[in-house]
Amino acid sequence: MFATSPPLPRPTSSGNLAPVSLTVLNMAASVIIRGPRRSLQLFAASAFLAAGAEIIAIRGTRILRHHTRPQIAELPLTIPLGWYGFIAPAYGLAQAAVGDRGPTAVACVTALLATATDVANDPWGLASGFWEWRDGGPYMPDIVGSNGVAGIPVGNYAGWLIIAASAALLGEIGRPPGEIVAARRLRSPLLFLYLILGLAGIGWAGKERRWRLLAASITTVVGGGTAAWLKAQPIPS
């Protein structure tokens, strides 16, 4: 269990602007691609799945604690927005890259792209005190959270894969054929929206001279996003 009085981390109400901004930018792009109704469908799927999974981790298994405020039932109010902000551009790129292969392919690519951003960002968030893990884990075992526990559990990334894939599958329900074409037309803005998701983690890794983490982050985020962008280019007739 967590210590009853852990050291107060730096973040309290800080860090709220980023998820709100990501939500606005991605919702605007989504409306252009798929219209208001289907954009709300993706938002609802991402937000509700993420909020439910987070509450289980925070209040059920109690393996996770967040420090960003404001909170309801220990869940920061910006967490569902943040999850949507990470899933939406990954979903758009996945649609553009493999949408004509069906929902399962879109879900798999969405999950991989979204999880890649957390490979870059979770070490930065842990070191910065935005959250902490009760038991730690084998990934980045030299990074210590505000509760004195080091490392990130593998289950964190399994959760990202499951939530992102599930949100994409729900988002794919009722998708009209023209949505793939629209996503391909906006593949460059989608790539931009996706790449900025990894900036915090990549910048932190470079600042701290964690070269292996920096290389892994660039490979997964920049490499994965660029591969999807290249795959999304229309085939010349």
Residue 88 contacts residue 46 (beta carbons within 8 Å)? yes
At residue 65, φ and ψ (nearest 5 deg) are -135, 130
**What CA–CA distance (Å, rounded) separates 224 from 139?**
20
Length of the chain: 237
pLDDT given at position 11: 57
Percent of the chain predicted with pLDDT > 90: 86
pLDDT at 164: 98
- d(Cα 57, Cα 158) in Å, to the nearest integer? 13
DSSP state of 1: -
Residue 3 has pLDDT above 80, yes or no: no
Q: 142 is written with which tokens?
A: 């030299």
pLDDT higher than threshold 50 for residue 110: yes
Across 214-231, average pLDDT:
96
Inter-residue contact 180 to 100 (CB < 8 Å): yes
74: left (phi over 0), alpha (psi -120 to 50) or beta: left
pLDDT digits (tens, 9 = 90+) for 121-174: 999 999 999 999 999 999 999 999 999 999 999 999 999 999 999 999 999 999
pLDDT of residue 151: 96
Q: Residue 1: its pLDDT value, please?
A: 39
Tell me the pLDDT tens digit for each residue of 13-56.
455 778 888 899 999 999 999 999 999 999 999 999 999 999 99
In the chain, domain spans: 17-232
| Beta strand spans in the chain (E) | 64-66, 71-72, 75-76, 131-133, 139-144, 150-152
Q: Are 106 and 99 in contact (CB under 8 A)?
A: yes
DSSP readout, 31-82?
HHHHHHHHHHHHHHHHHHHHHHHHHIIIIIS--EEE--SSEETTEETTHHHH
User: 21 to each of 25, 28, 214, 220, how far by Cα in Å?
Assistant: 6, 11, 25, 23
The answer to whether the Cα torsion of 166, 219, 89, 62 is positive or negative is: positive
Q: What is the mean pLDDT of the chain?
A: 91
Q: Token match 């599930």: residue?
A: 166
Report the distance separating Cα 89 and Cα 86, nearest Å: 6
Q: What is the pLDDT of residue 2?
A: 41
